[in-house]
């Protein structure tokens, strides 16, 4: 089973070193008071060598700082050997309302720009108060602090950079939770990431009334086949009745906001990004199924608004958090990157960043954008992202499944398929229980053989085509229903003679492999506004445009470029009833109807994918 939880990789630390930590560090546990009187449980590991002064390196997490007990040390320390041997004061904190910390936990607690009293708190103020206490109470520090974290801790690392304490000099949000409505984790363009939410909140969402060292047990049932299970759930309203049973308080809060309203706007991490103060290095993975959007868009927001001394973006060929654990980052699924990208990142990028800002002892100059080019499998450096010399180009959809950079010259036409929400297109070729990390690069031949998936393929490429930056789908569509989803997938088609892996225990055929490079869904009701959804008029042609997250991918000479379009991606995304209802979370079984979908490819109504290319 190839599955991925929201932060599974944080359980895979850099290297086993318990004996080294015990011999060279002393562990302390504190309950650090915040301005409103609540105390946050914090573990601090200080070097035993007191002949030097050290900076603080902080992680704030909702996932526990265990093991608890001043004499209990983790079997594996969550930082690389270089950091541990160099010497830092490592600080790990349970965030407000989680595990052993006091107070109320709030999911993606909004940034509060108007903190006037001691009762006005947010994650920014909790970080500020933590740093202030550390500076005043922990000896042998050099007056500087840095913060980092992956996924939800990445959200807290970014919050720690906003209105930061003067001692906070560097922040590295990694795969940061940024926007839970448009592109991260549980919504993509307003559509619901069903199995990801279900798997995560059936344990994380259970209330913790008092501080505790014990994890809540998941209330999710066991099942062998996620496609069958989630289809059997029926309308989303059944989730609470059948499984949550009012134990997941966040479900009610979540489903009461089906559109982009103020609730979601203030929870967008970019809301306070203009007030980021320290140097920031945002890190993400090209194949992160959870928080790819967050890394790209947080960097973009800081670049536009903040006045930080340095703003860096790093993107590797990684699934969620892969760079932070033991995994080499040399492959994903059947796609091989031919390099230990994780160790390269930790040694040549992350370590120099913190050494420079916290110790003034690294002369390694990092570029603004350190990006891994998939396809060619090489690291590249850019002065800005997207690259300033990128050339806009357009991939046009043509008759007979052709795809070309040449525009449609004349004639009219469309392609159509019937979308049945009771027989949705699966998101992966295999049987899975949950969202898989590998689906981000899965072979799409299974989908291209379905009658409800449109396929457009280029001629064999005569030279490399490197696409760099965001993609924009611009489609002319119609539906016989009154609501619809549209999925666009950018695919690298390997040559027929491409060699199989050796060894090849799974008997994969790489010749003609259709590697997903980027896929994204758009819920059509939001085509004019995420705040004010509108139904479609049956059979009326409408323009639908949306952005797909960035890529840096080299379609090599001899390969082909493919676009696939479909209206379901199940159970990765919940089913659109295809009959407009005010709130899909309250849809009834009878609302789910078949619809005929058309994609138009005429000279005046040409469906296309706009890209940026570089040399």
Mean pLDDT for 496-522 is 95
Query: What region does 434 belong to: left with phi over 0, alpha with psi -120 to 50, or beta?
Result: beta
Report whether pLDDT(138) > 60: yes
Residue given tokens 């992350």 in the structure block? 350
**Count of structural domains, the chain:** 2
364 and 403 in a single domain? The answer is no
Distance CA 399, CA 416 (A): 12
Distance CA 521, CA 473 (A): 10
Distance CA 611, CA 41 (A): 47
Which tokens hold the place of 422?
């009771």
pLDDT-wise least confident of 88-97, 158-167, 304-313, 349-358: 304-313
Residue given tokens 């279900």 in the structure block? 198
SS3 (DSSP) at 486: strand
Q: What's the CATH number where 132 sits?
A: 3.40.50.1820
417 and 315 in a single domain? The answer is no
Is 435 domain-assigned? yes
370 and 478 in a single domain? The answer is no
Report whether pLDDT(150) > 80: yes
492 and 378 in a single domain? The answer is no
Is 185 domain-assigned? no
324 and 396 in a single domain? The answer is no
In this predicted model, what pLDDT tens digit does every residue of 537-560 receive, in sequence order?
999 999 999 999 999 999 999 999
Q: What is the pLDDT of residue 9?
A: 40
| Distances 491 to 93, 292, 442, 518, 561 between C-alpha atoms, Å | 42, 18, 10, 7, 6
Is 258 domain-assigned? no
Is 49 domain-assigned? yes
Bridge partners of 45, per DSSP, are: 27, 90
The 3-state secondary structure of 158-173, one letter per residue: HHHHECCCCCEEEEEE
In this predicted model, what pLDDT tens digit does every residue of 163-207 receive, in sequence order?
999 999 999 999 999 999 999 999 999 999 999 999 999 999 999
Is 525 domain-assigned? yes
Of 382, 407, 428, the residue that ends a domain is 382
What is the span of the domain harbouring residue 343? Answer: 21-112+123-179+267-382
Looking at the chain, the whole-number percentage of residues with pLDDT higher than 90 is: 92
486 and 360 in a single domain? The answer is no
Is 296 domain-assigned? yes
Q: What is the pLDDT of residue 363?
A: 78
Q: What is the pTM of this model?
A: 0.95
Report whether pLDDT(584) > 70: yes
Report whether pLDDT(411) > 80: no
DSSP-derived letter for residue 96 is T
Cβ(425)–Cβ(576) under 8 Å? no
Report whether pLDDT(587) > 60: yes
407 and 373 in a single domain? The answer is no
Mean pLDDT for 57-65 is 98
Bridge partners of 61, per DSSP, are: 94
Looking at the chain, the whole-number percentage of residues with pLDDT higher than 70 is: 97
| Distances 48 to 23, 24, 45 between C-alpha atoms, Å | 8, 5, 9
Q: What is the pLDDT of residue 572?
A: 98
404 and 529 in a single domain? The answer is yes
Q: What is the pLDDT of residue 10?
A: 41
Is 128 domain-assigned? yes
Distance CA 279, CA 565 (A): 40
Cβ(515)–Cβ(438) under 8 Å? no
Of 326, 352, 382, the residue that ends a domain is 382
Mean pLDDT for 120-138 is 98
| Distances 329 to 18, 340, 401, 405 between C-alpha atoms, Å | 24, 6, 35, 33
| Distances 535 to 421, 481, 542, 573 between C-alpha atoms, Å | 17, 9, 11, 19
608 and 477 in a single domain? The answer is yes
479 and 580 in a single domain? The answer is yes
DSSP per-residue codes, 363-402: -PPPPSEEEEEBTTTEEEEESSSS-TT-EEEEEEE-GGGB
Q: What is the pLDDT of residue 2?
A: 39
Q: What is the pLDDT of residue 17?
A: 78
Q: What is the pLDDT of residue 66?
A: 95
Report whether pLDDT(6) > 80: no
Q: What is the pLDDT of residue 79?
A: 87
Cβ(122)–Cβ(111) under 8 Å? yes
Helix (H) or strand (E) holding 203: helix 194-204
Distance CA 351, CA 85 (A): 12
Mean pLDDT for 582-596 is 97
Of 349, 382, 415, the residue that ends a domain is 382
371 and 417 in a single domain? The answer is no
Q: What is the pLDDT of residue 3?
A: 39
Q: What is the pLDDT of residue 76?
A: 83
Is 242 domain-assigned? no
Report whether pLDDT(12) > 50: no
In this predicted model, what pLDDT tens digit does every residue of 234-277 receive, in sequence order?
999 999 999 999 999 999 999 999 999 999 999 999 999 999 99
Report whether pLDDT(11) > 60: no
Q: What's the CATH number where 567 sits?
A: 2.60.120.260
Residue given tokens 């560090």 in the structure block? 25
In this predicted model, what pLDDT tens digit does every residue of 352-387 receive, in sequence order?
999 999 999 877 899 999 999 999 999 999 999 999
Q: How big, in percent rounded to 5, are the helix, strand and coil portions of the chain?
A: 25, 30, 45
Mean pLDDT for 569-590 is 98
28 and 160 in a single domain? The answer is yes
Distance CA 295, CA 305 (A): 16
Which tokens hold the place of 33?
């008071």
Query: What region does 361 belong to: left with phi over 0, alpha with psi -120 to 50, or beta?
Result: alpha
Cβ(277)–Cβ(161) under 8 Å? yes
Distance CA 589, CA 576 (A): 11
């Amino acid at each position: 089973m190839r599955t991925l939880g929201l932060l599974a990789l944080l359980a895979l630390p850099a290297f086993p070193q318990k004996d080294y930590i015990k011999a060279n560090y002393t562990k302390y546990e504190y309950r650090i008071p915040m301005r409103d009187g609540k105390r946050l449980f914090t573990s601090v590991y200080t070097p035993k060598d007191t002949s030097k002064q050290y900076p603080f390196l902080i992680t704030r997490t909702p996932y526990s700082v265990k093991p608890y007990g001043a004499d209990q040390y983790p079997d594996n320390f969550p930082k690389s050997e270089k950091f541990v041997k160099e010497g830092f004061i490592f600080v790990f904190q349970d965030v407000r309302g989680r595990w052993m910390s006091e107070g109320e936990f709030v999911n993606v607690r909004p940034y509060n720009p108007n903190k006037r009293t001691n009762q006005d708190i947010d994650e920014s103020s909790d970080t500020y108060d933590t740093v202030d206490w550390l500076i005043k109470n922990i000896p042998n520090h050099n007056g500087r602090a840095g913060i980092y974290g992956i996924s939800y801790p990445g959200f807290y690392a970014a919050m720690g950079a906003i209105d930061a304490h003067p001692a906070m000099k560097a922040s590295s949000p990694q795969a940061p939770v940024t926007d839970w409505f448009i592109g991260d984790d549980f919504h993509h363009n307003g559509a619901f990431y069903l199995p990801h939410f279900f798997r995560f909140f059936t344990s994380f969402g259970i209330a913790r009334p008092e501080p505790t060292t014990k994890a809540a047990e998941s209330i999710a049932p066991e099942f062998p086949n996620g496609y069958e299970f989630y289809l059997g759930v029926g309308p989303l309203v059944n989730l609470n009745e059948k499984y949550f049973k009012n134990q997941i308080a966040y479900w009610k809060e979540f489903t009461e906001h089906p559109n982009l309203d103020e609730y979601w706007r203030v929870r967008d991490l970019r809301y306070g990004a203009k007030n980021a103060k320290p140097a920031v290095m945002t890190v993400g993975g090209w194949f992160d199924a959870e928080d790819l959007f967050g890394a790209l868009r947080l960097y973009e927001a800081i670049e536009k608004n903040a006045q930080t001394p340095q703003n860096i973006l790093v993107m590797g060929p990684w699934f969620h958090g892969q760079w932070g654990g033991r995994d080499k980052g040399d492959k994903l699924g059947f796609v091989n990157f031919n390099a230990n990208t994780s160790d390269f990142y930790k040694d040549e990028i992350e370590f120099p960043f913190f050494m420079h800002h916290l110790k003034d002892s690294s002369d390694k100059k990092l570029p603004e954008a350190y990006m891994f080019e998939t396809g060619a499998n090489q690291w590249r450096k850019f002065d800005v992202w997207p690259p300033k010399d990128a050339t806009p180009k357009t991939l046009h959809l043509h008759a007979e499944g052709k795809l070309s950079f040449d525009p449609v010259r004349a004639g009219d036409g469309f392609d159509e398929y019937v979308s049945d929400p009771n027989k949705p297109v699966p998101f992966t070729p295999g049987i899975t229980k949950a969202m898989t990390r590998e689906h981000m690069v899965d072979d799409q031949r299974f989908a291209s053989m379905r009658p409800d998936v449109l396929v457009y393929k280029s001629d064999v490429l005569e030279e490399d085509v490197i696409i760099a930056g965001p993609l924009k789908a611009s489609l002319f569509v119609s539906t016989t229903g009154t609501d619809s989803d549209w999925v666009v997938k950018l695919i690298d088609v390997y040559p027929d003679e491409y060699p199989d892996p050796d060894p090849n225990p799974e008997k994969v055929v790489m010749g003609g492999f259709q590697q997903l490079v980027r896929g994204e869904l758009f819920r059509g009701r939001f085509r004019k506004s995420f705040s004010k959804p509108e139904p479609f008029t049956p059979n009326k042609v409408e323009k639908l445009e949306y952005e797909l997250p960035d890529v840096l991918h080299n379609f090599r000479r001899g390969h082909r470029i493919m676009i696939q379009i479909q209206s379901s991606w199940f159970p990765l995304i919940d089913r659109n009833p295809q009959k407009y209802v005010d709130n899909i979370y309250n849809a009834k079984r009878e609302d789910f109807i078949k619809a005929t979908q058309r994609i138009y490819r005429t000279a005046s109504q040409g469906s296309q994918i706009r890209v940026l290319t570089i040399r």
